[in-house]
Amino acid sequence: MTGQWYNSDPAAAIAWIKALPDDESKNRIVQSISYSWARNDPQAAAAYALNMPTGDAQRNFVSQISNAWGSSDPAKALAWVGQLKDGDAKNSGFSSVLGSWAANDPKAAAAYVSAMPQDGTRDAAIQSVAGRWANSNPDAAAQWVAGLPDSNSKNNAYANIASQWGRQDPYKASAWLEQQPAGPARDAAARAFSNQITSSDPESACAWAENIGDANSRKNQVRNVLSRWMRSDPTAAAAAIQKRSTLSDEEKTALLNRK
């Protein structure tokens, strides 16, 4: 109802919302029109967000504004987010602007992120751009992430790309993974890819789990795949468990008895 009112008479709807008591009901109403408000009048929506109490409602509203504004004018959206107080809302805003920007111009968004100082905001921005870019062109997203310095953020971005690519085209994703050098980034991608294809191809998922370099991560992922496989196809999974030379007899028994 509020959304329809806003679309027909935005000024009246906003005036009514501002007069409401500050409570959860008001927060829900604000969220319901946040994207439309940001698209229609981002400056006014941004000003309202600055006066909201710190917390989940403000963070969610900032994210919606940033997402909408970032698709139409990322430079102004980033300048606004940069003025916010450090915290969850600011980090969420940066990620949303850059994700929206990456959906329209991933190369420009990636170039901006690459030039950012190395801190938590940049780490979140890398995830946002890599994730959005991977939706449309995972190969290009992977090439960009490959050029970033080694870090946990790079590993997480690789995992994000591998998961999305595995959903879109597991054969091409597998071919890409096979070409990656050993190390934490490849391990993260292999684990994410294994998770992504477990439901559709548990045998390949198990093979990729066994391809993880880190011993603990490898063992945990093999168990994870086999446990999920046991729930979907106990007969085939039991046969696969018995063939695993990397598992002890105790581990095999535990997996076979897991419901």
The pLDDT score that the predictor gives to residue 8 is 67
The pLDDT score that the predictor gives to residue 63 is 87
The identity of residue 46, as a single letter, is A
Residues of the chain with pLDDT under 70: 1-3, 5-8, 10, 259
Eight-state DSSP code of residue 197: H
CA-based nearest residue to 74, from 248, 144, 82? 82
The pLDDT score that the predictor gives to residue 54 is 81
CA-based nearest residue to 211, from 241, 236, 242, 174? 174
Q: Which tens digit of pLDDT belongs to each residue from 174-233? A: 999 999 999 999 999 999 999 999 999 999 999 999 999 999 999 999 999 999 999 999
The pLDDT score that the predictor gives to residue 189 is 97
Structural tokens at position 180:
């990656």
139 and 158 Cβ atoms separated by less than 8 Å: no
Alpha-carbon span 15 to 30, nearest angstrom: 12
| Half-sphere exposure in the Cβ direction for 216 (13 Å, CA) | 1
- Kindly write down the DSSP assignment for every residue of 99-130, as one continuous string: HHHHHH-HHHHHHHHHTS-SSHHHHHHHHHHH
Longest dimension (CA), the chain: 70
Alpha-carbon span 215 to 24, nearest angstrom: 47
154 and 183 Cβ atoms separated by less than 8 Å: no
The pLDDT score that the predictor gives to residue 185 is 96
The pLDDT score that the predictor gives to residue 3 is 59
